[in-house]
Structure 1
Amino acid sequence: MSKSVPSFLQEEDPDRDGDSTYEDSYSRGSSSMTNLTHSSGMASLSSLSGSVMTIYSGDLGNIEVQGNIHFSINYIQKLREFHIFVAECRDLAAADLKRGRSDPYVKSYLVPDKANLGKRKTSVKKKTLNPTFNEILRYRVRMEYLRTQTLILSVWHHGTFGRNSFLGEVDVDLSKWDFDHTQMNYLILKARTIPTLAPSTGRGEMKLAIRFMPQINSIKDAPNTGEIHIWVKECKNLPLIRAAIDPYVKCFVLPDTSRKSRQKTRVLRRTADPVFNHTMVYDGIRDADLSEACVELTVWDRDRLASNLLGGLRVGAGTGKSYGALVDWMDSTSNEAALWDRMMASPNQWVEDVLPLRILNATKTALK
């Protein structure tokens, strides 16, 4: 079963630790992996809604981009908030060619780490190519972190049945931006160029220990299966994406992304150096599964409205394959794979390491 070693070094969040954006509610408890081998790696990718994934919704389509966007940006030091005032767009392309109109709205991202802070949206303006918004999109974020980001403002047509169409975008390199400049900006919209999201440095690190306990099952005539124990000890130097973060750790043993596979630590409040001392147990593991499975550990900041990804690890063989299928999530670094190899070579023994957190690659299937 899932169990915690109590730690009194940080204040524990008294509220429920579910995140409203990236996952559903869950049931804490032991996780059986007896169905691990019955689900191929390729089949499991279709259910990665709870695991790490990047979502690009909408249709880039064949609409020829035109027009411009008027906006201003400001950093409110007292609130530690980044404000984007979206005033209006002019001369947008028509998504509805027959009627010569669109139903536009504006969406904002901060990249390269857009999963951390999420997207913001304006309201939708109906039947117009010259929408006036006069809305503020807000991010709670520290200035030093903001300086590492690029702001992307994209304009979309809100179509029926969720089929939105891309109308253009602009990007602003915030590392070079003069934040004393709070006047209106008038930028021409351009066609989308998919950015290369390079992993950012300074994600922090995690101290953990793992062990494999073979042949735990003592039931007569039952197949011999064992358990993987994952002891999340602490994290250090997590990125401060806002004034104070409330971190927790989420775990899956891939390729299983079902609720039974999902376990969490508790949320610790207002710390970039959380001490969790939390042990997660997964049973139903055969020796043969060890070369096909991968432990995914991700660290999240629980904000009021959503949980934001800070970084993660994938401890496994790092072969790129699982049960004969090519999978993107079997991408362990050399240090992550070395810890897994030490675990396999030392059954019943804890093996420990301090591993740097990273931005985890999204799976190709999840992007479809």
Structure 2
Amino acid sequence: RPWKKKKKKNCPSLSLAPGPEQCPLQPPLSPPSSQQPAVTMATEKVKDPMNSMGFLEAAVKISHTSPDIPTDVQLSMREHFLRRTQRMQRQTTEPASSTRHNSFKRHLPRQMQVSSLDLGNDYMVDKEEKPTSIGRIQPELYQQKAVESEDSSKNSNKNCGTINFSLKYDYENEALFVTILKAVDLPAKDLCGTSDPYVKVYLLPDRKKFQTRVHRKTLNPTFNESFQFPVAYDELGARKLHMSVFDFDRFSRHDMIGEVVLDNLFETSDLSRETNIWRDIQYATSESVDLGEIMFSLCYLPTAGRLTLTVIKCRNLKAMDITGYSDPYVKVSLICDGRRLKKKKTSIKKNTLNPTYNEAIIFDIPPDSMDHVSLHISVMDYDLVGHNEIIGVMRLGCNAEGLGRDHWNEMLAYPRKPIAHWHPLLESKKSEKEVLF
């Protein structure tokens, strides 16, 4: 048969015709259902990425003269093909936002902008190392904080001496008489081993204070000074007597030695007659005297992306002027990612410690940015000459503490409804001053 020898000599590499005779180098193939070329079958396999294994098998067996590719190599080629196909098919878009909210895009953390992208399996992040906008957590910093907290607890137990004073109430004049008698075993604050002590006396929540004379170079001063606080007898149960002991410094800030606080005057002594009292001076680095309170309401409109903070009033503010009063105003700063975006302030109220404002402050904040912003509220004392002084501050937001966080969450839970609360003012920290000023 000459035709059989000719066909065997010139065996085409793409011949899939059925028959018992095949090329000796070709592995046995099952006959296809129709007379279609193998290239068409491979093209159809590409359209279905989930069945890519069949495509690879067909592509491998196109050449009848090449040996079979190992199974592990085929699996790795299949995974690479799936990753590439899925990466080409997926597409991410960002929703359009209002022009007044565009300023938030450049201030929000980087993590918000890339979290929705699918980078494929080649860029999988280890579960133990989660990226954050501020970097990875450094355990040594927390160890340092733990050491500092231990030092502060040791200082709180430090002996700061004792103070002797007396209390008596005058029913005819409706006044409380406080007499600072003496102090014993005060700690040395100066290099020469002595101190220059004096005492400040408050009857809270009133901001009016009295101060004793300064006694030079002694750790056991004798004061014998009396002070009169006008107060009704029925109000004594709600008052607190606060005494702060300081060391006077002529050329620097006065050092605080410690403080004594009496919460309930009726339980402490019999006010009908003069009572002599001894108390240990508690260690403190700054006065824990109340700085006052501020009342404001919060209301958020999600559809308009508008936050309204209405400053209502303040009470019992700290006196910052020599006259015993202050010139307070309220400043509100919008903070995002550690940066101040905007600030607004109320009007100034002259010579008062209980100002009333009823002024609204409005910020435009998109709903998806509410979890990344915070409000810093500062009650300031206006000075015509020099810098304005901070009376007290407080913070609002999801990451705030205490009532500031609770008020913020309550506002988000009840949109379009004004919610008002009283907030105590706190001392400002150095980090907050760097951001706000």
**Of Structure 1 and Structure 2, which has the larger fraction of its residues in strand?**
1
Q: More helix per residue: 1 or 2?
A: 2
Structure with larger RCO (C-alpha < 8 A, sep 6+): 1
Larger radius of gyration: 2
TM-score (norm 1): 0.49
